[in-house]
Structure 1
Amino acid sequence: MLSWSPLANFFWDLQCKIYFLLVGICSALKLTVPSHTIHGIEGQPLHLSVDYNFNATASEIQIIWLFERSQSNPKYVVGSVNQGVIPDLEYQDKFTLIPPNASLRINPLHLSDEGNYIVKVNVRGNGTIAASQKIQVAVDVPVTKPTVHTEPSSGVVEYVGNITLKCTVDRGTRVVYQWMKNGKRLHAGPNYTFSSNNATLLIVPVVKEDIGNYSCLVSNPVSAMESEIIAPTIYYGPYGLRVKSDKGLNIGTVFTVDVGEVVLFDCSADSNPPNTYLWIKRDDNTTQVIKYGPHLEVVSDKVAQKTVDYMCCAFNNVTGKRDQTHFTVVVMSVGLEKLAQKGKSLSSLAVITGISLFLILAITFLFLWKRYQPHKVIQQKLQSRAEADYRKAQAFSGHESASDDFGIYEFITFPDLTSGSRVSNQSVPGPDFVAGQDMLSTVYEVIQHIPEQPQQDHQQQLQHWDEHPVPH
């Protein structure tokens, strides 16, 4: 009789456990069902797909389907053993099972069929293996085309009234509402407020920018529909009042026209409803209404004055707001010269500005020339003198001898408007001196007529320097 050691017994038990574990894994049953909620349409069939597989010898395969509503116990609906189907008599015409396929068909689908469906598969062979899964089913009713209602339906005034848009549908489950403006999704904003389910849109306050095409888009997991376009009526304006003409030259608010021209002026402003226009002519501090309507015709040769002021007034009868603009018509006695092609003309204001700048520059240049030209003449005369005489002219000794004080002196006279020109008592003007000359001309004349020293005095000065040389 063989005896087993404790170590041999240990390895034998381990091999048996590994064998039975591998057999269990290989013969395990696996069920595959949709991992998300299945949405069905009321009145339409619904197919619940189920796949299962196992790796073992099976003598019997049993399939069972149970239905579980919210807060209720599961209820048997249909089952099968091998090829035999065992339906519940209450649902035998509603549920279809074709074994060995475990998928279930529901036809027709009703709202009461919404809930959890549980499938269980049992396989008997050397042993019995089983597996089960749950499928969640939601039943939806397709949405009908929505309708949008506007309150008030007659329109509102900008910054005064509010608009409420309501979206309704006759049928549909789990409806989601989305508002559209001009084909784009509309989101909450400073003046846009939505109800809890987005079925109602409130616009507070209404402004001109809220004008547009609105629609309501409704949807659920099985359908989607959009309403008809609706454009709420919003009253606003007038905005951007302006006057245009078909002839003449326009610079800002001034219109320049030729004599004999018939000029048509057009007054316009953005407004809803359209504005009422009024034309006023201002003459000699008086005003008079001359025409109603957006157009005014002016015949320039019938205008008594060369410059006439006009005013166009725009009034919105619904909003109660008004605006006005002033402009001036200048009638030229000669035709306007066209200086460029393709509608381009030279501005008369630009011509006047250019001439003014030219005159200013010319006057400035003349003033600078008169200011600095005498100094240039003086410098030329100084440079033309002998070097010795120039040095003497730069030094003022202060001696009493007239010969030592020889030099170039500049005597300046200031004109006196009351008593005539006066000259310093130390100077004797030359014979060409003219009373009333300006300061620079006087300096020029004094320097030009400096009297020359006698030749004898000059020779005595040289002899004195020879007899008394300057020590080095």
Structure 2
Amino acid sequence: MLSWSPLANFFWDLQCKIYFLLVGICSALKLTVPSHTIHGIEGQPLHLSVDYNFNATASEIQIIWLFERSQSNPKYLLGSVNQRVVPDLEYQHKFTLMPPNASLRINPLHLSDEGNYIVKVNVRGNGTIAASQKIQVAVDVPVTKPTVHTEPSSGVVEYVGNITLKCIVDRGTRVAYQWMKNGKRLHAGPNYIFSSNNATLLIVPAVKEDIGNYSCLVSNPVSAMESEIIAPTIYYGPYGLRVKSDKGLNIGAVFTVDMGQVVLFDCSADSNPPNTYSWIQRDDNTTQVIKYGPHLEVVSDKVAQKTMDYMCCAFNNVTGKRDETHFTVVVTSVGLEKLAQKGKSLSSLAVITGISLFLILAMAFLFLWKRYQPHKVIQQKIQSRAEADYRKAQAFSGHESALDDFGIYEFISFPDLTSGSRVSSQSVPGPDFVAGQDMLSTVYEVIQHIPEQPEQDHQQ
């Protein structure tokens, strides 16, 4: 096999450059490749496409393919002169050249074929022009379907244990690993730790929220495969314990049922593995287990009391955690549920009626208060008195102004008309006091009942 030394390669390129500078002929030859890096699949053929063209008259065209690995000298593979192929005997059945096309076909492709392929084209006419290109070939083995191993396989208790997921691939080169959870890419987080190549996922610590469908996606430049779904086992709970009933009215933790009803209670909580349930009845500060299991049947006509307290207990045998909830059963012969339904339909009307009555009573009270306040009545009647009444009051009292005698008196008595004597309005009744005599208590009444004086008194 012809060995092409680095020194010969250097002089070849130097020769072309000298021609380019002095004659300007090298630019007339153009050599192109679609990509300088090509990925091939082991065991399959690979085509290295090369195009060239020139604008000079050629008497001889030479094509040469060389191969070099890292830190090694280039090796001659095959070549052609005027469409006559001259292969290297060692590689004559592996490499194919179809002149005047300069493309190279490798069949089959092996991992040992990975390296740099150099193509040189020389055209001789009035002078010699040359061009070369280098193509890097990477040979990849397609990845096989990966498998995921879980440790520990028996599962862990949340907040206590850790989970390790390992992605294993039997074959494949340049493998890239990616973890998926429920069909979405999984990123590093507080409790997700990846190995340097992402092949291992560590969940520290495992919690209920980490439950899901995990898979491993592996890929390289020529293939991609995803593992089967795996769901790690995480034990948790109980969470969200509650009691439900198929009958009766439930208000908070109180169930009201009609006398004679058979009521089924159901106790449930989120847990893995499923909880064990026990029903406890409380009576007179004593408790007793009456049933095991998630369901309890209560016959209301057999309950001696009107109310009965119960408790449902849930226990997880693996996590060692438990939870309990209390509720009360109220037995009524009226049917509280029906009354509650009627009460809902009547509640709006009752509210409107009550508000209306309250407003009517408030307005009536306000009207009466304004109409019959005593001090306002007195003031209005005093102002409406005629001037003559005041004059009579002045003459009767003996004062210059009768207004001084106006006021409120506790006891009032009037003297007999024939006696002519006057008794003070504040004097205590004497022996001549008549039992049926009027006792007035307002100024208005005092003025109203002042006896008229004889005409001779006025004349005097």
Q: CA deviation at 1:186?
A: 0.9
Is the contact made by 1:68 and 1:116 (CA closer than 8 Å) also made in structure 2? Answer: yes
Determine helix, strand or coil for the equivalent of 1:89.
Answer: coil
Work out the CA distance in 2 between the residues paired with 1:358 and 1:267.
48
Match of 2:78 in 1: 78
Cα distance, 1:148–1:404 mapped onto 2, change above 3 Å:
same
Q: CA deviation at 1:333?
A: 2.1
Work out the CA distance in 2 between the residues paired with 1:444 and 1:195.
109
Work out the CA distance in 2 between the residues paired with 1:438 and 1:340.
63
Q: CA deviation at 1:383?
A: 7.4
Q: Which moved more, 1:74-83 or 1:408-417?
A: 408-417
Determine helix, strand or coil for the equivalent of 2:229.
Answer: coil
Work out the CA distance in 1 between the residues paired with 2:370 and 2:391.
29
Work out the CA distance in 1 between the residues paired with 2:39 and 2:345.
73
Work out the CA distance in 2 between the residues paired with 1:452 and 1:342.
74
Q: CA deviation at 1:324?
A: 0.9
Q: CA deviation at 1:336?
A: 3.4
Cα distance, 1:18–1:329 mapped onto 2, change above 3 Å:
closer
Work out the CA distance in 2 between the residues paired with 1:433 and 1:323.
92
Q: Which moved more, 1:92-101 or 1:360-369?
A: 360-369
Cα distance, 1:128–1:333 mapped onto 2, change above 3 Å:
same
Q: CA deviation at 1:381?
A: 6.0
| CA deviation vs aligned residue, 1:275-299 (integer Å, no higher than 9, x gap) | 1111111222222221111111111
Cα distance, 1:33–1:288 mapped onto 2, change above 3 Å:
same
Structure 1: give runs of 5+ residues left out of the alignment.
458-471
| CA deviation vs aligned residue, 1:35-56 (integer Å, no higher than 9, x gap) | 3421101111000000111111
Work out the CA distance in 2 between the residues paired with 1:160 and 1:274.
19
| CA deviation vs aligned residue, 1:202-248 (integer Å, no higher than 9, x gap) | 00011101111111111111111111111111100011111111111
Cα distance, 1:73–1:256 mapped onto 2, change above 3 Å:
same
Tell whether 2:39 aligns with 1:21. Answer: no
Q: CA deviation at 1:314?
A: 0.8
Work out the CA distance in 1 between the residues paired with 2:161 and 2:210.
12
Match of 2:62 in 1: 62
Is the contact made by 2:110 and 2:139 (CA closer than 8 Å) also made in structure 1? Answer: yes
Q: Which moved more, 1:390-399 or 1:214-223?
A: 390-399
| CA deviation vs aligned residue, 1:334-385 (integer Å, no higher than 9, x gap) | 1236479999888999999999998999899899979997777677767766
Q: CA deviation at 1:433?
A: 19
Match of 1:278 in 2: 278
Q: CA deviation at 1:327?
A: 1.1
Cα distance, 1:294–1:62 mapped onto 2, change above 3 Å:
same
| CA deviation vs aligned residue, 1:253-279 (integer Å, no higher than 9, x gap) | 111111111111111100011111111
Match of 2:32 in 1: 32
Q: Which moved more, 1:34-43 or 1:407-416?
A: 407-416
Is the contact made by 2:4 and 2:73 (CA closer than 8 Å) also made in structure 1? Answer: no
Q: Which moved more, 1:128-137 or 1:406-415?
A: 406-415
Cα distance, 1:8–1:225 mapped onto 2, change above 3 Å:
closer
Q: Which moved more, 1:274-283 or 1:7-16?
A: 7-16
Q: CA deviation at 1:312?
A: 1.0
Cα distance, 1:311–1:179 mapped onto 2, change above 3 Å:
same
Cα distance, 1:204–1:126 mapped onto 2, change above 3 Å:
same
Is the contact made by 1:411 and 1:442 (CA closer than 8 Å) also made in structure 2? Answer: no
State TM-score, norm by structure 1.
Answer: 0.74
Work out the CA distance in 1 between the residues paired with 2:337 and 2:9.
125
Q: CA deviation at 1:132?
A: 0.7
Is the contact made by 2:262 and 2:298 (CA closer than 8 Å) also made in structure 1? Answer: yes
Matching of residues 66-465 of structure 1 within 5 Å: 66-336=66-336, 338=338, 403-407=403-407
Cα distance, 1:407–1:424 mapped onto 2, change above 3 Å:
closer
Work out the CA distance in 1 between the residues paired with 2:3 and 2:308.
137
Cα distance, 1:378–1:222 mapped onto 2, change above 3 Å:
farther
Work out the CA distance in 1 between the residues paired with 2:452 and 2:91.
150
Is the contact made by 2:281 and 2:309 (CA closer than 8 Å) also made in structure 1? Answer: yes
Q: CA deviation at 1:437?
A: 23
Q: CA deviation at 1:329?
A: 1.2
Q: Which moved more, 1:155-164 or 1:395-404?
A: 395-404
Q: CA deviation at 1:328?
A: 1.3
Is the contact made by 1:279 and 1:311 (CA closer than 8 Å) also made in structure 2? Answer: yes
Is the contact made by 1:277 and 1:312 (CA closer than 8 Å) also made in structure 2? Answer: yes
Is the contact made by 2:3 and 2:74 (CA closer than 8 Å) also made in structure 1? Answer: no
Q: CA deviation at 1:400?
A: 11
Is the contact made by 2:51 and 2:103 (CA closer than 8 Å) also made in structure 1? Answer: yes
Cα distance, 1:120–1:291 mapped onto 2, change above 3 Å:
same
Q: CA deviation at 1:182?
A: 1.1
Work out the CA distance in 2 between the residues paired with 1:314 and 1:361.
58
Cα distance, 1:386–1:144 mapped onto 2, change above 3 Å:
farther
Work out the CA distance in 1 between the residues paired with 2:4 and 2:198.
81
Is the contact made by 1:408 and 1:447 (CA closer than 8 Å) also made in structure 2? Answer: no
Determine helix, strand or coil for the equivalent of 1:382.
Answer: helix
Determine helix, strand or coil for the equivalent of 2:142.
Answer: coil
Determine helix, strand or coil for the equivalent of 1:330.
Answer: strand
Is the contact made by 1:398 and 1:405 (CA closer than 8 Å) also made in structure 2? Answer: no
Is the contact made by 1:395 and 1:407 (CA closer than 8 Å) also made in structure 2? Answer: no
Cα distance, 1:340–1:169 mapped onto 2, change above 3 Å:
same
Is the contact made by 1:156 and 1:233 (CA closer than 8 Å) also made in structure 2? Answer: yes
Is the contact made by 2:407 and 2:442 (CA closer than 8 Å) also made in structure 1? Answer: no
Determine helix, strand or coil for the equivalent of 2:328.
Answer: strand
Work out the CA distance in 2 between the residues paired with 1:432 and 1:300.
85
Q: CA deviation at 1:389?
A: 9.0
Work out the CA distance in 2 between the residues paired with 1:114 and 1:26.
31
Number of residue pairs aligned between Structure 1 and Structure 2: 458
Determine helix, strand or coil for the equivalent of 1:353.
Answer: helix
Cα distance, 1:267–1:95 mapped onto 2, change above 3 Å:
same
Cα distance, 1:322–1:174 mapped onto 2, change above 3 Å:
same
Cα distance, 1:372–1:204 mapped onto 2, change above 3 Å:
farther
